[in-house]
Chains A and B, each alone.
Chain A
Amino acid sequence: MKARASAGERRDRRDRALRIGLPIVVLALGLAVWELVVLIKDIPPYVLPAPARILRTLVSDWALLSQSLLVTLTTTLEGFLLAAAGGVGLAVLFNQWRFLEYSLYPYAVILQVTPIVAIAPLLLIYLPQHAAVLTCAWIVAFFPVLANTTLGLHSVDRNLTDLFSLYGASRGQVLWRLKLPSALPYILGGLRIAGGLSLIGAVVAEIAAGSAGAGSGLAYRIAESGYRLNIPRMFAALLLLSLAGIVIFYLLSLINYLALRRWHESALAAES
């Protein structure tokens, strides 16, 4: 019995090592091939820079790029917070007043299905640049929060609803003690999507605003470096954007796990 358990443990540990190790091997191989191809074919950096060159650019341009990273991250965070507040807030309002849901929900859908790339230039005409970028990030990110929260607020255990009404719970008590906790896993799922989307929204708006010239975020750097054929810097900025996306995703996953680990199926270990 004990031997079998430890065999299972060993298998688990090997499995985990493979899950972490294999992607790293793939990455190393890919980079090596890339580096070699650029070296052997003697491709100039303005066509395709080698990975080492990109890293060197990242270091040498760090002052400029870190500044831009900060700008983009700030926009993303602001857009995300607004999306979280707006998505959850609207979903709660819709849940409490049905006529409000009927009146506004279709427009939330329209806002969502219209490509943000097409909306961004218009926003830049009517709003100051910072507000326009923020609005873009918000439009892209708030819908998954709204949709998931709405679903969560409707997914309350019927018997628990009966129990609350049996004890004469007020609307506020039902919302605060029953509906919101029930919806929490859904809300967190929506936020996890919204985190990545608010970065996309911020980037789209920066690119659209690029020609206006006042921007200084990472996406603006990419566009600007493109015009100047500074391809290594384009790659370096792209790398930072990817890293930012990954960090946001894992941060939100961590929050998700910490909030749900005691009770929700999704956050529980296979079996203890």
Chain B
Amino acid sequence: MPPATAFHAAPLVALRGVGKAFPNGIRALAGLDLEVGSGEFVALLGPSGCGKSTALRIVAGLSEPTEGAVEWPHAATPAQRESRIGFVFQEPTLMPWASVFNNVALPLKLKDAGADKAAQRVDAALDRVGLLAFSRAYPRELSGGMRMRVSIARALVTEPQLLLMDEPFAALDEITRFKLNDDLLRMWQTLRTTVIFVTHSVFESVYLSSRVVVMAARPGRVFAELAVDAPYPRGQDFRTSPEYAAFCRRASEALSGAMAAGDEL
């Protein structure tokens, strides 16, 4: 299957025939092919257990594939790759003992960036998620949505080329989720970063992404791809448009097909 979006250059990252078998014999992924081009917003959509989080961890280098390879055509060394990735987990994953400022500063401190420049970048990142006023607060003092914003600010503070997000808004209420969806799209457009966004929500995947990759389970693989070629910026108008509904229906059908192919669950 050809990629739904055409690129004029090599992809930013490509998974080639990636497979992952865990020591307990479970095959989480098999023959996964995925190319992600610079500037894309790709959603990985699939039922739970289809290996979408595993795929994301493999892209991040947190997990090694047992078959196939991850290619970074533009980055020669692992260190170069590291500096290109930001990761947002399902939970905010903040250090409870550190202030918001110090949490966001962590990636820079681990790289021994100069203190002055680091402080500016942290402030900029916090400003981007609207939490500059809370830089001295501790995570415990924030709401779930605010913690997730801190987590996003931390992922963006290194200005990564590739932002990996693993069901980041799954635990939030719908109002907060819609708000964060809009903020994320805004940041994506200003920063021109590339995003791979794992979700099990059809509506979220269509609303956010320029391409939905539907995965099937047992073993995890790409089942279908759907280009969402609606223009950005998207907002409330898009969310209520017939066009959006049509995309959602198609994604929903693909997901049903994927679940049937992933068989008896």
Residues of chain A touching chain B, judged by Cβ–Cβ distance below 8 Å, are 157, 159-160, 162-169, 173, 177-178, 181-182, 184, 262-264, 268
Contacts and interface: CB of A to CB of B under 8 A. Distances in A.
Contacts of B82: 166-168
A165 B61 CA distance: 9
Nearest to B89: A159
Nearest to A164: B110
B189 interface: no
Nearest to A174: B110
B93 A163 contact: yes
Contacts of B60: 166
Interface in B232-256: none
Most A CB contacts (10 A, CB to CB) among B93, B95, B109, B110 go to B110
B119 interface: no
Given A159-B91, A263-B140, A167 B106 contact: yes
B111 A167 contact: yes
Interface in B97-135: 97-98, 106-107, 109-111
A262 B138 contact: yes
Contacts of B158: 167
Nearest to A180: B97
B107 A167 contact: yes
Interface in B132-150: 138-140
Q: How large is the interface on B (under 10, 10 to 19, 20 to 34, 35 or more residues)?
A: 20 to 34
Contact of B62 (A162, A181, A184): A162
B197 interface: no
A270 B118 CA distance: 36
B87 interface: yes
Contact of A168 (B98, B106, B110): B110
B96 interface: yes
A157 B87 contact: no
A262 B96 CA distance: 9
B45 interface: no
A264 B96 CA distance: 7
A157 B107 contact: no
B79 interface: yes
A169 B91 contact: no
B108 to A, nearest CB: 9
A182 B93 CA distance: 13
B85 interface: yes
Nearest to A170: B110
B93 A166 contact: no
A179 to B, nearest CB: 11
Closest 4 CB pairs of A and B: A159-B93, A263-B96, A167-B110, A181-B97
A160 B95 contact: yes
Contacts of B95: 160, 178, 181
A268 B140 CA distance: 10
Contacts of A177: 106, 109-110
Contact of A184 (B85, B97, B109, B111): B97
A165 B57 CA distance: 12
A44 to B, nearest CB: 59
B169 to A, nearest CB: 16
Contacts of B93: 157, 159-160, 163
A169 B107 CA distance: 9
A182 B91 CA distance: 17
Given A163-B93, A167-B107, A182-B97, 8 more contacts: A163-B87, A163-B106, A164-B110, A167-B111, A168-B79, A168-B82, A177-B110, A262-B140
Contacts of B98: 181
Contacts of A162: 57, 62, 87, 89
